[in-house]
A and B are shown apart, each in its own frame.
Chain A
């Protein structure tokens, strides 16, 4: 069964006919062509597929594309504006908040929401807030530093 969906992705409206069973992550990567959101575990654990749906971070491997009909989606590709990195991206760059980079798109999206909801998070709050995003390289300390730096930049 195919359903027509209208979505706004990174500020651009588009309409597609999709199978009702198509997952949002497959829609974004294979239909729209945005390869920023990654497929890691595909079991809604790792968070590499995290995108913002109407401003709220979600795991796009655990959503159907049809659920996003009429909604606003932001992927990691939509963070930078006019060639300027988003403060969260800058902070991850400056603080070495990544090694291989596979988890980074999800980390960035979750961090953006985390510091929106809590502009001055403690280390513990950052680790709690990033529980849904796994990194297999960094040991997380540099990521925590990056989140703190991003919060200071956005808040300050």
Chain B
């Protein structure tokens, strides 16, 4: 359980970090809650590790024109307990509080979890439901990627080897929007067998906006567009919610592992989708 040897750099600024990534075939270390276990198992054996852990710019929380900008290095504990995040974007704070355990939440980071893209991670469900945008910076340029284009496959994202995530951009929740994250927790690891994040806004007795993000069911997290379409315009009755939730796995190839078969996961996804919607209503 000892990682392979590697060279280690700890840049003090984003510019130094992206310069290092441009010049070396390196892995980026944030909190290390995913990367270090992988390196111990030698599933990952980078020659060079660039530790972003001391770049203060990456732990900022700012609000700007209806958006909340969360620095990639914010720990899950910081996201879960920030009064500003709880007020402006309660879904991401609620989701952060469900991740792993206290020690993991003290080290693990928002950007690190997004970049690792574990199919059973919690954040991706919320990020999909929030239609988050991800800022990616490289040596001479930067780009902003929609979350729908960000999660590509299990453990695979749109981040290029020479890029780092600097921040996630989330919407400030409009008044009257209810949110909830509901997950079936794998009891040993705390990962989601299935997790569903919902944002629902009513207007005049009908559902005006519904966003549903799902983790754990497929190789990567996704927005359940079928569920959203069935909910929007409905009255949000028990029957409406049950009918809409049945669409959560439409067109989805459900994963199967020793924790849960694909059929069981589909069933759990429908149940937890309904729970998340009802809790958000």
Interface size class of B (residues with CB under 8 A): 20 to 34
B107 to chain A: closest residue by CB: A58
Using a Cβ cutoff of 8 Å, how many contacts connect chains A and B? 84
A67 to chain B: closest residue by CB: B53
**A42 contact from B8, B40, B104, B107, Cβ within 8 A:** B40
Interface majority SS (helix, strand, loop, mixed), chain A: mixed
Cα-based distance from A57 to B108 in the complex (angstroms): 12
The stretch from A15-23, A76-84, A85-93 touching chain B is A15-23
Asked whether B6 lies within 8 Å of A21 as measured between CB atoms, the reply is yes
Interface size class of A (residues with CB under 8 A): 20 to 34
A75 contacts B by Cβ under 8 Å: no
Contacts A21-B2, A21-B3 known; A132 to B102 CB distance under 8 Å? yes
| Cβ of A47 to closest chain B Cβ, rounded Å | 6
Asked whether A66 lies within 8 Å of B51 as measured between CB atoms, the reply is yes
**A66 contact from B4, B5, B10, B190, Cβ within 8 A:** B10
A72 contacts B by Cβ under 8 Å: no
Asked whether A129 lies within 8 Å of B37 as measured between CB atoms, the reply is no
B5 to chain A: closest residue by CB: A21
| Cβ of B35 to closest chain A Cβ, rounded Å | 10
Asked whether A113 lies within 8 Å of B102 as measured between CB atoms, the reply is yes
Binding site for A on B (CB under 8 A): 1-8, 10, 29, 32-33, 36-37, 39-40, 49, 51, 53, 77, 100-104, 106-107, 188-190
Identify the 9 closest CB pairs spanning chains A and B, nearest first.
Answer: A132-B101, A20-B8, A131-B101, A56-B106, A21-B3, A132-B103, A42-B1, A59-B103, A1-B7
